[in-house]
């Protein structure tokens, strides 16, 4: 257990940040699922619109430090490839 005041404060701050970061990752997943749902339905217009909304969310996650830059790029690249293949 934490003994020093700064260690106790760090535990409180870590819990608060984990909650915020978890919400951010969840939001990103929701946007990605919207794209995947449109892909499953075969609706290219809806999929490309959802992809345009998901891309800034992914990059915002990178800027906030909740996901790695390469991870976001990989996810966006794969989704883009699937949307363009829907043709």
pLDDT in tens, 35-77: 999 999 999 999 999 999 999 999 999 999 999 999 999 999 9
The CATH number assigned to the domain holding 57 equals 1.20.58.110
The domain total for the chain is: 1
Say what the pLDDT of residue 30 is. Answer: 98
Say what the pLDDT of residue 11 is. Answer: 95
HSE, side-chain direction, 13 A CA sphere, residue 10 = 7
CA 54/CA 38 separation, integer angstroms: 13
Say what the pLDDT of residue 37 is. Answer: 97
> What is the extent of the structural domain holding 76?
5-86
Quick one: what percent of the chain has pLDDT higher than 90?
94
Token pair of 30 as six digits: 């929701």
Average pLDDT over residues 3-25: 95
Average pLDDT, the chain: 96
CA 39/CA 6 separation, integer angstroms: 49
Is 25:61 a contact under the CB 8 Å cutoff? Answer: yes
């Amino acid at each position: 257990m934490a003994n020093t005041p700064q260690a106790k404060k760090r535990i409180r701050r870590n819990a608060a940040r984990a909650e915020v970061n978890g919400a951010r990752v969840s939001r990103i997943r929701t946007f990605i699922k919207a794209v995947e749902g449109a892909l499953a339905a075969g609706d290219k217009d809806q999929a490309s619109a959802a992809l345009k909304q998901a891309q800034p969310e992914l990059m915002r996650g990178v800027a906030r430090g909740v996901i790695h830059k390469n991870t976001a790029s990989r996810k966006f690249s794969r989704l883009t490839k699937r949307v363009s293949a829907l043709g």
